[in-house]
Amino acid sequence: MDEALGKQQADGGWTLESLGPWKEHPDAAISSGSSNYATAVVAVALEQAGLKRWLLAHQDPAGYWEAISVNKRYAAGSMPDLFMRDAATAFAAPAFANAEMR
């Protein structure tokens, strides 16, 4: 757990590089800072290790979690962009079913 937390970025997430070697997709959005995919992997691992409050601490005040595609660039606010956000939120929501969030 200490190694994972040591690779956490200033924005609260993790980069793909923090998980190990990664080959970028040529059509992927240019990424700076954390990756939603890498962050999801680490968040699951932290939850399994007993650190359950991370997900709530990084939720957008509007109630969702942001996500970007690693395969294609989408215009901000477009249907695919909003779908990515909705999908990220849908994947985050089940974590609350099994976690004590006190």
| pLDDT tens readout for residues 53-68 | 777 777 888 888 888 7
Reported as a single tens digit per residue, the pLDDT across 57-102 is 778 888 888 887 878 889 989 999 899 888 888 877 776 666 555 4
The dihedrals phi and psi of 62, each to the nearest 5 degrees, come to -80, -5
Identify which has the larger pLDDT, 7 or 102: 7
**Which of left, alpha, beta for 73 (phi over 0: left; psi -120 to 50: alpha)?**
beta
The dihedrals phi and psi of 14, each to the nearest 5 degrees, come to -130, 150
**Per-residue model confidence (pLDDT) at position 87:** 85
Torsion angle of the four alpha carbons 72, 58, 12, 54, in this order, in degrees rounded to the nearest 10: -120
- Dist. CA 101–CA 32, nearest whole Å: 30
